[in-house]
Structure 1
Amino acid sequence: MEIFSSYNVIIGISLTIILSFIFNGVAKKTNVPAVLLLIILGVVLQYILKAFGADPNQFLSMLEVLGIVGLIMIVLEAALELELKSDKLMPILKSMAIALIGLVASAFIAAVILKALVKDMSMQSAWLYATPLSILSSAIIIPSVSGLVESKKEFHIYESTFSDILGIMLFYFLTGRLNPAEDSGVGGFFLNLILTIVISLVASYAIILIFQKIKSQVKLFLLIAVLLLLYALGKKMHLSSLIIILIFGLVIANMKLFFQGQLRQYLDLEKAKHIYHELHVITAETAFVVRTLFFVIFGITIVLSSLLSLKVTLISILILISIYAIRYGLLRLFMGKDIFPQLFIAPRGLITVLLFYAIPAEAIVEGFEPGILLFVIIGTSLVMTGGMIRDKKMNPQRIEEATEEEINIEETEYFINNTTDLSELDTPGSGGEHDAE
């Protein structure tokens, strides 16, 4: 029997998505990240495929495409949740500072460890290998923090999103320096960043104004296709493409903030809100499916035997210690004493894997064991699991109250939006989800 027949593939994908949905339920009850369960499922499938004589490595080519699409969907999903208000400025700046300093400090310490313990590794290559290991995984964090109080949930959404974007920018800045002929230096990097922001804003306004006039009922996947196209073209032009996705999400989630003055007359708020709501749903659904397939395929392709190396264990433990030591210092500096469970929520995941496979051939070091990657991903996920379980046991009442408060807010907003004329709520400075409800 051909194991990769059409019907077998359909059955396999369907069962995987069903199991992922069940894993999400398990994760909410136990605080064990669903991603960890998906990787375990992938490892089980790896041995099943080997038993039927199939080669798990043939799935490697799918990882990059799934990772890129998943990354876009996850960042867009996060951006659609972010409210840009004056009272959100300090939390956003704190989150960005923690994400940036944590990224650079963690990458530097990890690079020093790799340079010292991996044979034939230059400091330049060490930075390239260390950067993916230093990026927080919004793919794991965002679904995992829904039970936290609103302020802590917002912090993790901001921090993980900034970590993703800044980490990718740092990685591609480092890869650009491998080729002196193409290296534009720090000045060129910031010029590229400014150009990306300008293009992102222009594209965001254009997309919203055009799509609010499209009458077809099947325009959301067209919108997704446009965003994917912009991302890919941005990459071809060596722009920081993820910023395009982030800014578009922020603009459509905070329409009243971005469409002020003369621009307001061009915005059909009702139609734009409808696009926002539908985009929010389809983005979340797509991110769920892509994330599921990505981590299962990652589990299928990993080599578990690499975890048995003492050298892998030593390097990984040193990197893990550095991650949490740096995080502890930053959280105490910026957040004070209330740093639990934030201290433990620093998992590595989708971006770490995606960037690892994007390391240029000229920077690849044969002595680097991929088991380090797997060890750090599993290790940070287990630490997060322990931290979330500890927080749930110590603060069960607080979590229940936070959940009830969110439900009450949603019910109040629904009542207001269905009993009050829209113009009465149109006050300057409001944004985020309230714009779109």
Structure 2
Amino acid sequence: MEIFSSYNVIIGISLTIILSFIFNGVAKKTNVPAVLLLIILGIILQYILKGFGADPNQFLSMLEVLGIVGLIMIVLEAALELKLKSDKLMPILKSMAIALIGLVASTFIAAVILKALVKGMTMQSAWLYATPLSILSSAIIIPSVSSLKEAKKEFHIYESTFSDILGIMLFYFLTGRLNPAEDSGVGGFFLNLILTIIISLVASYAIILIFQKIKSQVKLFLLIAVLLLLYALGKKMHLSSLIIILIFGLVIANMKLFFQGQLKQYLDFEKAKSIYHELHVITAETAFVVRTLFFVIFGITIVLSSLLSLKVTLISILILISIYAIRYGLLRLFMGKDIFPQLFIAPRGLITVLLFYAIPAEATIEGFEPGILLFVIIGTSLVMTGGMIRDKKMNPEALEEGIDTPEDTLEETEYFINNTTDLSDIDDSIAPDAHETE
């Protein structure tokens, strides 16, 4: 029997998506990340495929494409959730500071550990290998924190999104330095960043103004195709392409903020708002499917024997200790004493795998065991699971369906009353940036 026949592939993908939906339900009840269950499913499928004589490694070529598309959808999904208001400025800045400092500090410590314990590792290559291990996974965090209070949920959305973007920028800055002829230095890097932001804003305004005039009912996948095209072209031009996706999401989610003055007359708010809501739905659905397939295929390609090495275990445990020690210090510094379960929510995942496979051939170190990658991903996921379960037992009323505590509700009510001076303010506070219930 041909295991990869057309109907078998359709059956396999369909069952995987159905199981992923069930895993999401299990995750909400138990706080075990659905991603961890998907990886376990992939490992089981690996042995089933081997039993039929198939080679699991043939799935490796699919990981990169799925990872890139998944990354774009996840960042876009997160950006569509971000509300840019004056009262959100401090939470956003705090989240960015924690993400940036945590990324740099974790990368440095992990690089020191790798250089000391991996044969043939230079400090430059150690930084390159350490960067993927230091990036938070928004693919795991965003769907896992839905039951938390609104303030904590927003913190994790901001932090993981910034960690993704800053981590990818750091990784490609480091890869650029491998080739002195192409290395533009720190000045060139920031010039590239400014250019990317300008292009992103221009493209975002153009897309919204053009798409609000399209009357076809099948324009959303056209819009996603345009975003994928911009991302790919940006990569070809060595731009920080993920910023294009982030800024587009922020612009369409906060249209009243970005379309002011003379620009306001060009915006058909009702049509643009309709595009926003439909895009929100289709982005979430697409991210779910791509994330599902990515982590199952990752599980299929995992080499479990690499976890049995004492060296892999030692390096991985040292990296895990450094991750949570740095995180504890940062959260206490910026957030005070209320750092649970935030301390435990620092999983590695999709971007870690994606960037690991993107390490250039000239920087590859044979002594580096891929098992370190797997150990850190599973370890951080298990710590997150334990932390979420512990917090749910200690604060069941505050976590139930993400309902705020009475104190939070009272503070929000007082803020709204004190800052609403006119009935038009109430209308202006309604979606897209306040997210109407669909």
* Range class of TM-score, shorter chain: over 0.9
Which string of whole-angstrom CA distances, capped at 9 and with x for unpartnered residues, describes residues 56-88 of structure 1?
000000000000000000000000000000000
How big is the shift at 1:3? 0.2
Which string of whole-angstrom CA distances, capped at 9 and with x for unpartnered residues, describes residues 156-179 of structure 1?
000000000000000000000000
Which string of whole-angstrom CA distances, capped at 9 and with x for unpartnered residues, describes residues 316-362 of structure 1?
00000000000000000000000000000000000000000000000
How big is the shift at 1:432? 1.8
Q: Following the alignment from structure 2 to structure 1, what is the Cα–Cα distance between the partners of residues 428 and 247?
A: 22
How big is the shift at 1:401? 7.6
User: Would the aligned equivalents of 1:113 and 1:319 in 2 still touch at CA under 8 Å?
Assistant: yes
In structure 2, relative to structure 1, the CA distance for the partners of 1:242 and 1:329 (3 Å cut) is same
Describe the SS at the equivalent of 2:397.
helix
Aligned length: 437
Q: Following the alignment from structure 1 to structure 2, what is the Cα–Cα distance between the partners of residues 409 and 284?
A: 31
In structure 2, relative to structure 1, the CA distance for the partners of 1:417 and 1:81 (3 Å cut) is farther
CA RMSD across the alignment: 3.4
Which string of whole-angstrom CA distances, capped at 9 and with x for unpartnered residues, describes residues 393-433 of structure 1?
00001123843799999999999999999977454899723
In structure 2, relative to structure 1, the CA distance for the partners of 1:329 and 1:420 (3 Å cut) is closer
In structure 2, relative to structure 1, the CA distance for the partners of 1:194 and 1:415 (3 Å cut) is closer
User: Would the aligned equivalents of 1:23 and 1:34 in 2 still touch at CA under 8 Å?
Assistant: yes
User: Would the aligned equivalents of 1:46 and 1:299 in 2 still touch at CA under 8 Å?
Assistant: yes
In structure 2, relative to structure 1, the CA distance for the partners of 1:294 and 1:275 (3 Å cut) is same
User: Would the aligned equivalents of 1:110 and 1:322 in 2 still touch at CA under 8 Å?
Assistant: yes
In structure 2, relative to structure 1, the CA distance for the partners of 1:252 and 1:5 (3 Å cut) is same
In structure 2, relative to structure 1, the CA distance for the partners of 1:315 and 1:81 (3 Å cut) is same
Q: Following the alignment from structure 2 to structure 1, what is the Cα–Cα distance between the partners of residues 13 and 401?
A: 38
Q: Following the alignment from structure 1 to structure 2, what is the Cα–Cα distance between the partners of residues 414 and 271?
A: 31
Q: Following the alignment from structure 1 to structure 2, what is the Cα–Cα distance between the partners of residues 89 and 414?
A: 15
User: Would the aligned equivalents of 1:256 and 1:430 in 2 still touch at CA under 8 Å?
Assistant: no
In structure 2, relative to structure 1, the CA distance for the partners of 1:418 and 1:324 (3 Å cut) is closer
User: Would the aligned equivalents of 1:31 and 1:385 in 2 still touch at CA under 8 Å?
Assistant: yes
Q: Following the alignment from structure 2 to structure 1, what is the Cα–Cα distance between the partners of residues 41 and 212?
A: 42
User: Would the aligned equivalents of 1:138 and 1:164 in 2 still touch at CA under 8 Å?
Assistant: yes
What TM-score does the superposition give when structure 2 sets the normalisation length?
Answer: 0.95
Q: Following the alignment from structure 1 to structure 2, what is the Cα–Cα distance between the partners of residues 418 and 333?
A: 30
In structure 2, relative to structure 1, the CA distance for the partners of 1:414 and 1:151 (3 Å cut) is closer
Which string of whole-angstrom CA distances, capped at 9 and with x for unpartnered residues, describes residues 23-65 of structure 1?
0000000000000000000000000000000000000000000
User: Would the aligned equivalents of 1:256 and 1:428 in 2 still touch at CA under 8 Å?
Assistant: no
In structure 2, relative to structure 1, the CA distance for the partners of 1:436 and 1:234 (3 Å cut) is farther
In structure 2, relative to structure 1, the CA distance for the partners of 1:5 and 1:324 (3 Å cut) is same
Q: List runs of 5+ in structure 2 lacking aligned partners.
A: none
Which string of whole-angstrom CA distances, capped at 9 and with x for unpartnered residues, describes residues 113-148 of structure 1?
000000001111000000000000000000000000
Structure 1 equivalent of residue 325 of structure 2: 325
In structure 2, relative to structure 1, the CA distance for the partners of 1:197 and 1:184 (3 Å cut) is same
State percent identity of aligned pairs: 92
How big is the shift at 1:435? 8.1
Q: Following the alignment from structure 2 to structure 1, what is the Cα–Cα distance between the partners of residues 387 and 412?
A: 31
What TM-score does the superposition give when structure 1 sets the normalisation length?
Answer: 0.95
Q: Following the alignment from structure 2 to structure 1, what is the Cα–Cα distance between the partners of residues 300 and 146?
A: 28
Describe the SS at the equivalent of 1:53.
coil
User: Would the aligned equivalents of 2:276 and 2:432 in 1 still touch at CA under 8 Å?
Assistant: no
Q: Following the alignment from structure 1 to structure 2, what is the Cα–Cα distance between the partners of residues 417 and 65?
A: 49
User: Would the aligned equivalents of 1:79 and 1:249 in 2 still touch at CA under 8 Å?
Assistant: yes
User: Would the aligned equivalents of 2:146 and 2:401 in 1 still touch at CA under 8 Å?
Assistant: no
In structure 2, relative to structure 1, the CA distance for the partners of 1:352 and 1:87 (3 Å cut) is same
Describe the SS at the equivalent of 1:391.
helix
User: Would the aligned equivalents of 1:307 and 1:375 in 2 still touch at CA under 8 Å?
Assistant: yes
User: Would the aligned equivalents of 2:76 and 2:283 in 1 still touch at CA under 8 Å?
Assistant: yes
In structure 2, relative to structure 1, the CA distance for the partners of 1:247 and 1:4 (3 Å cut) is same
Q: Following the alignment from structure 2 to structure 1, what is the Cα–Cα distance between the partners of residues 423 and 350?
A: 40
User: Would the aligned equivalents of 2:147 and 2:401 in 1 still touch at CA under 8 Å?
Assistant: no
Matched, 1:229 2:225: no
Which string of whole-angstrom CA distances, capped at 9 and with x for unpartnered residues, describes residues 233-264 of structure 1?
00000000000000000000000000000100
Q: Following the alignment from structure 2 to structure 1, what is the Cα–Cα distance between the partners of residues 290 and 429?
A: 37
